[in-house]
């Protein structure tokens, strides 16, 4: 009985190797890096974090661990809400939590009001 193509052990190994090579570029999207514990090499692996930012993160957490994303944003220079959102989407967590922007507070909300017509002053 001749061996069918899917029964060759080398063919199965080649197929798995092909799957690993094709999925390698997407590996970073699945990786989760904890800001309080990750070494600088892991922080730099996150898209959007360079060596200088990684060093600022490590220096800030040496003082004390980050409590949440608000603490992270406040203590790491160069990280704002927009950058935190991107870093979280790329796999960075703080205490196991992804970044969720806070809802707009009532003081920041803009309420729509209908236009109330004013009487026109007659031309003098």
Task: Dump pLDDT digits (tens) for 51-81.
Answer: 999 999 999 999 999 999 999 999 999 999 9
In whole angstroms, give the CA distance from residue 84 to residue 69. Answer: 8
Beta bridge partners of 93: 34
Q: Is 103 exposed, middle or buried (0-12, 13-18, 19+ CB in 10 A)?
A: exposed
Residue 19 has pLDDT above 80, yes or no: no
Instruction: Look up the pTM and report it.
Output: 0.60
CATH architecture entry for 28-100: Orthogonal Bundle (1.10)
Question: Comparing C-alpha atoms, which of 49, 37, 43 is closest to residue 95?
Answer: 37
Contact yes or no for 79/46 (Cβ under 8 A): no
Give the pLDDT confidence score for residue 113 in this predicted structure. Answer: 72
Q: What value does the mean pLDDT of the chain take?
A: 80
Give the pLDDT confidence score for residue 114 in this predicted structure. Answer: 77
Other Cβ atoms within 10 Å of 101 Cβ, number? 11
In whole angstroms, give the CA distance from residue 108 to residue 25. Answer: 41
Contact yes or no for 68/95 (Cβ under 8 A): yes
Tell me the mean pLDDT in the region 90-100.
93
The string of DSSP letters for 7-45 reads: G-HHHHHHHHHHHHHHHGGGHHHH--EETTT--HHHHHH
């Amino acid at each position: 009985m001749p061996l069918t193509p899917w029964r060759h052990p080398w063919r199965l190994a080649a197929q798995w190797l092909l799957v690993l090579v094709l999925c390698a570029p997407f590996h970073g999207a699945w990786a989760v890096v904890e800001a309080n514990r990750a070494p600088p090499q892991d922080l730099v692996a996150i898209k959007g974090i360079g060596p200088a930012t990684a060093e600022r993160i490590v220096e800030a957490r040496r003082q004390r661990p980050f409590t949440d994303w608000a603490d992270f944003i406040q203590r790491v220079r160069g990280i704002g809400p927009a950058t935190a959102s991107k870093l979280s989407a790329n796999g960075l967590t703080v205490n196991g939590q992804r970044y969720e922007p806070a809802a707009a507070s009532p003081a920041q909300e803009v309420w729509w009001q209908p236009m109330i017509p004013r009487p026109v002053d007659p031309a003098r």
